[in-house]
Structures are given as structure tokens and as C-alpha cells.
Structure 1
Amino acid sequence: MGSTLAQWEKKESSTPDEELAALQQVVYNTAKPYLGKPERKHQDWFDPNDQELQTLMSRRNQAHQRVLHTRSTRSTTAANNDACRQLQKRTRALKSDWWERKAVELQRAAEETT
């Protein structure tokens, strides 16, 4: 940090705000290699490794490929629509369950703080 601070020169004509901004930049540039980039942790409402979800997505993809690569018939279209419907139903249920758990968790946290 000493070598980086040496780069930071106090100028006679600079305002305190400019000096503070320059100091902040020096501290940031010095700490960045050591601390690294912050990792953002977003909570997903679904588990990407959920076997049932993987099966439904695979079934939906296969039905869609059949519609695209074969002659479109009522049965292939119906199978595709059914696969899409089942996948959407499952994902909506997962999302609803996640929101319910999140609401309970927030309510519990609010009750503990009061």
C-alpha cells in the first residue's frame, strides 16, 4: 500500500472532495487484488439438480423436438402441450412453496427482533 500511496499526491489546488475521491480510489485499487470481487448470493426458488424437474424438462424438450422434426400431428402437438403444462405446473408449485417458506422465515425474523 505504501507504493500506491506514493502515487497519491496531494495537490495544492485540489478540494477536499477531490482529495477524498483520490484517496478512495487508491485504497480501492490497493485492496482489490487481495479481497477479490464480491460474490453475489442470490437465492433461487428452485433446485437446478431436482430430479423431478430435470425429468419434466427432458420430457418437454423431447416432445418439442418431435414437433419440430416430424410431421406435426394432433398427437405430437398434444404431447408437447401436455409436457409444457406439467413442467409449468411443477415450476409454479416450486416457486409458490419457496415464497411461502420465505414469508415464514421473514415473519419469524420480525417476531424475534421485537
Structure 2
Amino acid sequence: DGKAGIQVDGDRFIISRPQAQLHGRVASDSKAYPRAAKLEIDAEAGHFPCVEVHSGEGLNHHFLSAMVATKGPKSPAPEIKITRNRQTWQIQSRGLHALIETTSRQPKITIL
């Protein structure tokens, strides 16, 4: 519908819609970062902006993106903290505290 907007700044991004925003942050062990893109579909289907995560060449990439939705087109960005200690990622935002353990192909997610 042409009403979506994408903003990218370093490791953070915002997907805007008329009534809400999705604030995101990317963390990685390979200098991965978000960038604005568009879905590669037929032009007659429309224009669909999106955010993709890009990283240089490598055999393994570990990255995490965490997102928080807010109401309104100009809502302030919430703080999103992402830290990593070996195979455990820790995410904190707006009272949410979660751990993601990546010790196998199926990550274990714990909400604290």
C-alpha cells in the first residue's frame, strides 16, 4: 500500500507504518548489520520495503535481531540491550529479560 518506511542507523532499524513502528537491533559475531532493501517480487505486485541483515563472507555467521513494537508513527525508540557470552545471548527491553542458548541447532529460549 506504499505506507511503510524503513530507517537504518548502524545496528538499529525502524519499520514505520501509519499507526505503529517496529524498532529493531542486530547483534552478531561477524559484524553483521541491517540494511534497507525491498522484497524481490514482480513490480506489478507492488513495492514492499524490508530490512535485511548483511554480513561479509564466512563459513559461520551468528546473529540475532530483537524487535519491539510501539504505537504511533513517531513513537520514541525503546532501549534494546543485546549481549553475548559464548553461546548465550541476553536480551533486555521494556521489562522483558530473555536468554537464548545456541548450543544446538534448536536454540533454547528462556523468559526470565
TM-score, normalised via structure 1 length: 0.21
Comparing both structures, which one devotes a greater share of its residues to helix?
Answer: 1
Larger RCO of the pair (alpha carbons < 8 Å, separation 6+): 1
Comparing both structures, which one devotes a greater share of its residues to strand?
Answer: 2
TM-score, normalised via structure 2 length: 0.21
The structure with the largest alpha-carbon Rg is 1
